[in-house]
Structure 1
Amino acid sequence: MKPNYYGTPIRTSHRTGPRYAIWIKRIIITVILIAAVLAGLLQIRSPRPVGIDAPPGSFSSARAMEKVEMIAREPHPSGSSAHAQVRDYIIAELEILGLHPEIQEANVAPGVSKRYSGKLENIVVRIPGTDSSKPLMLAAHYDSVATAPGAADDGSGVAAMLETARALQAFSPLKNDLILLMTDGEEHGMLGAKAFVSEHPWAGDVGLVLNFEARGNKGPSFMFETSDQNGWIIREFTRAAPSPVAYSLIYNMYKLMPNDTDLTKFKDGGMPGLNFAFGVGLNAYHTELDTAANLDPSSLQHQGDYMLNLARHFGNLDLNQVQQQDRVYFNTIGWSMISYPESWIPWFTGFAVLLFIATVWHGIYARRVQWTELVGGLFVSLLTLVVIYGINTLLWGLLRSRISEERYQQILMDPQVSVYYLAGSLLVTLLLAILIVRVGSRFIRSENIWLGALTLWLLLCVGTSIYLPGGSYVFIWPLVFSLIGLNLFFFMEEEARNWLSTLFAVPAFVLLTPICYLVYYLMTLGMAGALMVIAALAFSLIFPLFCKPRKAHRDIFG
């Protein structure tokens, strides 16, 4: 044994006490990590569906589902006779509520759209407020693709709007005018939304728009997109939504993708807004499986809870000036959310950088860190990510080459099948990480491997702070917590590494679990390589668990 600079002996024996004590420690550490993953999964859940006997002022998915069944009896693409029947049904439902719907007709000339030419019919209703600043608009599209009945996409949004209008009518009116817009031609390129923005006289009045979509038939509804300068909107959203699920990382990534919804056209027209969608069950998206029977009532309830509560909240606020500095936002435990202005990011990143520098100095002064081994620890982390990406990509390539395309698509799209392949990929990833770190720890101390991994996290922290500010939180806070744990480790014995690395990696598992969930469900296992790299990043903060016992090291300090 050799004392560190605090005079505390650095004991290098790995197996102390009875063998059962070692297994108890391992079980407790495993339980902590599983609990962290479950805490992350608790963020991404839907509220329980509400029955048909719910109070008049509440949103009931059971009542809304009755409307979905009427809307999604068969495919109803724009211009079809089934589409006309859905249009008439929606108008009749609005008139039963005492409202006065209007039809905005627009013509799409041949050649304007590659997908459709002919007449469009948006359904528009304006409910007067008592003292309106600017109108709040709720939007969803009522056309479907020709291959699907459209229960989720987007019968769920239209049915939720009808149920929301009914619930709002049960109480005193809102201060602001409320516009209900059911667009036509969304499936052909957001044609109805474009027509509303460019031709309807109400378009210039709108103070805020809430758009509702679906890319599956189950799962929680995410607020996945906002307009720019979203600070005020996000603060009010987190206050009003009863079960919010939203991540600024997802919005930042969505902006880099070519995907569009009706909100794209609304934003192009100068309307600030929020976009909501659920996306589990991709095998139902635009297929014959998109029926009312297959629609998850919890997903419909989530959409409706957003719609009704946000309508009541924003419908009573001044919507004249809603633009404010963008904010970082994310769920923590369950539906609780944290948000802060993007202008705070440089301060948080600067703190993480200073803490990293202090940790390196502390480790060197305590004779626990050496520059060459620190570089070696960074190399181990990078090698682990590269190997994990390569092996998983190779395995999925081999799988695809050996099975039919139909079977491959089922594996990707059907969550009841893909979950087993996800578990297998995670197991391969974990085993690869253990193997590489185990070999590396024969030559590099565990604290240097730990600090090497945190060097990679520091680079990602700085990079996202500059180029992907909405996603910076994913790296800033796990990095800070793990650096604190490593500094504590410098005061303690070798055996403490397992406890400290585990406890201080909990924030990383809580924050990265929902990101893995989203990539898995929305991007599918076709991106298994990238998905497993995200999982490996979380594993990198517990690399000390995978290291060989300290007694196996050569004593590099003499």
Structure 2
Amino acid sequence: MVLKNSTPPLTPNSQTQTVKKNKSKRLAKFGGIFIIILASIILGLLPIRTPQIVSSNASLDMFSAERALTHLEVIAKEPHPTGSVANFQVRNYLISELQKLGLEPEIQKKYVVSNFFPNHSGTIENIMVRIPGSDNSKAIMIAAHYDSVRTSPGAADDGAAIAAMLEMTRALQVSGELKNDLILLMTDGEEIGLLGAQAFATEHPWAEDVGLVLNFEARGNQGPSVMFETTDQNGWIIKEFLEAAPQPLAYSLLYNVYKLMPNYTDLTVFREGEAAGLNFAFGMGLDSYHSPIDTHENLDLGSLQHHGEYMLNLTKHFGHLDLNEIKQEDRIYFNAIGWKMVHYPQSWALWLMIGGVLLFIGTLCHGIYKKRMNLTEIITGFLFTLLTIAAIFGIVTLLWKVLESIVSEEQYVRIITELQIGIYYLIALLLLTAFVTFFLVRWGSRFFTKENISIATMFLWIIITIVISLYLPGGSYLFIWPLIFSLIGINLALFMRADAWEWISVLFAIPGFVLFTPIFYIIFHMMTLHIAGILLTISALVLTLIFPVFCSPIKYSKRNS
């Protein structure tokens, strides 16, 4: 007997069609997910670019990298370390060019013993110009060093900043008079112990008149100029910087981390003298750093243009502001999409952290109430997440140690310093991380559902957010916003069908990919693949935001049938 409304049995052909249809749906789904993730990464990379190069025929009130390049061709003709004949020739050229602009440069000649580097000393000759303003509050000072190391012509480090200073000054004269005095400080002896900056800060009477320092450096010969360091109580400076800079690139995380590192620039000297300031540098093309290939021919003109546009726009902006009382509460700041910046007081980090914790607790209660989460599987998922991240770190670290042992020292240096080589190794490691993570989560999903692994990964993010918010608040944005968005996504997913979970997790993971991508890319350039294990561990952490995508749909459906 056949029931009236019964479903007829599937024929072999219909079964095949159903399998093909399901396979097509899965492929389409994963294709869509891949496109979303790729688009998020591209959005994250948008700010990591230089502005358009301005030609030598442009309006005279604009900064032109091509015009600045004519100065750089002379400055970086050959290595010119402190005390050398070549350095003396560069000094004379800079004095001559400043005089052509109608200025009266002064020389500060001094024997200095470094306060920062033991046994480093020398006789330096700083070049200084003071341009009076119409109604001075305190002076704004542009600083860069004109000496190079003995092994390099120093086109990027730091000839580009010196050439930009000359072109900026020329353009500024066309733009009109500032209210505040402008001091141009071209220091000598930076490469042998920050000697010129120390001499100016401790010996020259102008140092007491400085209200704000803008220092320019380089650690490579390519890429955008990043505002990577500020001084303490930077709230007012950051707000004004973001208002004035046409293409700002800055992350408070970098500033917090930089303070923990044993690195020094001329701003270090001024900062210890309690001057307020901003520090800028471009750092891609690391193979050129302090090397013979740091020539004007190899310099990215976009980097020079970015330096110069910062100088001109910030000088014009701060040159008309009262610089007497400028210290305010530190701010958290970061590029959101492209050159659009988000910033807010650092004290918000604590409140956002508390809000994240409460949202996590509410989401957990929501999942338990819906009978979609249980503590046993959450604990299992949390431990599994830790083991997955640890596995990625161990595998990548081991593979990189093997690679380091089987290639020559020269080959290894090229891999970590030359982008055109290192990028392929980075892509391979990222793919390895994605595949290992996929298969581990696929296997592990027999022990937990998508809901439980999602909330388990959020528990890890909660722990990291609490630690970072308390001890490295400038970097808290990198964790709190992906956490909040993902928790919102989980709550929405709890109202939907189980098969919608993958889309929700990916869509609400977009902020995580957007925020982490530029930081990952900058660390890759600055620190190189020498820290491959740490870099790929960061990528594994971001992948935890989309763990539900990796879970087995078969196991999931059986556990919830």
Deviation of 1:538 after TM superposition, in Å, equals: 1.2
Are residues 1:449 and 2:447 paired?
no
Distance 2:388 2:292 in 1: 42
- Contact 1:222-1:246 at 8 Å conserved across structures: yes
Are residues 1:327 and 2:331 paired?
yes
- Contact 1:142-1:183 at 8 Å conserved across structures: yes
Aligned to 1:547: 551
Deviation of 1:550 after TM superposition, in Å, equals: 4.4
Alpha carbons of 1:18 and 1:425: their partners in 2 closer, same or farther (altered >3 Å)? closer
Deviation of 1:15 after TM superposition, in Å, equals: 8.1
**Which has the higher mean CA deviation after the structures are superposed, 347-356 or 275-284?**
347-356
- Contact 2:113-2:195 at 8 Å conserved across structures: no
Aligned to 1:280: 284
Distance 1:477 1:518 in 2: 20
Match of 1:38 among 17, 38, 42: 42
- Contact 1:464-1:471 at 8 Å conserved across structures: yes
Amino acid at match of 1:67: H
Aligned to 2:496: 492
Structure 2 unaligned blocks of 5 or more: 1-17
Aligned to 1:144: 148
Amino acid at match of 1:525: L
> What is the RMSD computed on CA atoms of the aligned residues?
1.6
Distance 1:102 1:550 in 2: 78
**Which has the higher mean CA deviation after the structures are superposed, 366-375 or 341-350?**
341-350
Distance 2:415 2:87 in 1: 33
Deviation of 1:113 after TM superposition, in Å, equals: 6.1
Alpha carbons of 1:16 and 1:249: their partners in 2 closer, same or farther (altered >3 Å)? farther
Amino acid at match of 1:120: I
Distance 2:544 2:554 in 1: 19
Aligned to 1:503: 507
- Contact 1:15-1:22 at 8 Å conserved across structures: no
Match of 1:132 among 129, 136, 152: 136
Are residues 1:72 and 2:76 paired?
yes
Alpha carbons of 1:123 and 1:363: their partners in 2 closer, same or farther (altered >3 Å)? same
Q: Secondary structure at the match of 2:432?
A: helix
Distance 1:229 1:319 in 2: 14
Aligned to 1:6: none
Identity of aligned residues (%): 56
Deviation of 1:18 after TM superposition, in Å, equals: 4.7
Deviation of 1:552 after TM superposition, in Å, equals: 5.3
Matches within 5 A, 1:519-534: 519-534=523-538
Distance 1:107 1:552 in 2: 74
- Contact 2:142-2:213 at 8 Å conserved across structures: yes
Aligned to 1:465: 469
Deviation of 1:345 after TM superposition, in Å, equals: 1.4
Q: Secondary structure at the match of 2:47?
A: coil
Are residues 1:173 and 2:186 paired?
no
Are residues 1:182 and 2:181 paired?
no
Distance 1:193 1:111 in 2: 11
Residue by residue over 1:75-111, the C-alpha shift from the partner in whole angstroms, topping out at 9 and shown as x without a partner, is 0000000000000000111000001100011113699
Amino acid at match of 1:450: S
Match of 1:425 among 429, 440, 446: 429
- Contact 1:442-1:553 at 8 Å conserved across structures: no
Residue by residue over 1:273-329, the C-alpha shift from the partner in whole angstroms, topping out at 9 and shown as x without a partner, is 000000001100000010000000000000111010000000010000110000000
Alpha carbons of 1:218 and 1:185: their partners in 2 closer, same or farther (altered >3 Å)? same
Task: Report the TM-score when normalising by structure 2.
Answer: 0.95
Match of 1:387 among 364, 388, 391: 391
Deviation of 1:118 after TM superposition, in Å, equals: 3.5
Amino acid at match of 2:533: G
- Contact 1:111-1:117 at 8 Å conserved across structures: no
Amino acid at match of 1:255: K
Residue by residue over 1:42-80, the C-alpha shift from the partner in whole angstroms, topping out at 9 and shown as x without a partner, is 021110111111111000000011111110000000000
Aligned to 2:354: 350
Are residues 1:211 and 2:215 paired?
yes
**Which has the higher mean CA deviation after the structures are superposed, 488-497 or 136-145?**
488-497
Q: How many residues align?
A: 544
Matches within 5 A, 1:88-237: 88-108=92-112, 116-237=120-241
Q: Secondary structure at the match of 2:196?
A: helix
- Contact 2:396-2:536 at 8 Å conserved across structures: yes
Distance 1:489 1:145 in 2: 58
Deviation of 1:114 after TM superposition, in Å, equals: 5.2
Aligned to 1:476: 480
- Contact 2:450-2:556 at 8 Å conserved across structures: no
Match of 2:245 among 237, 241, 245: 241
Match of 2:30 among 26, 29, 33: 26
Match of 1:60 among 60, 64, 73: 64
Alpha carbons of 1:129 and 1:552: their partners in 2 closer, same or farther (altered >3 Å)? closer
Match of 2:296 among 286, 292, 299: 292
Amino acid at match of 2:187: T
Alpha carbons of 1:326 and 1:111: their partners in 2 closer, same or farther (altered >3 Å)? closer
Deviation of 1:117 after TM superposition, in Å, equals: 3.9
Deviation of 1:379 after TM superposition, in Å, equals: 1.1
- Contact 1:209-1:273 at 8 Å conserved across structures: yes
Amino acid at match of 2:276: P
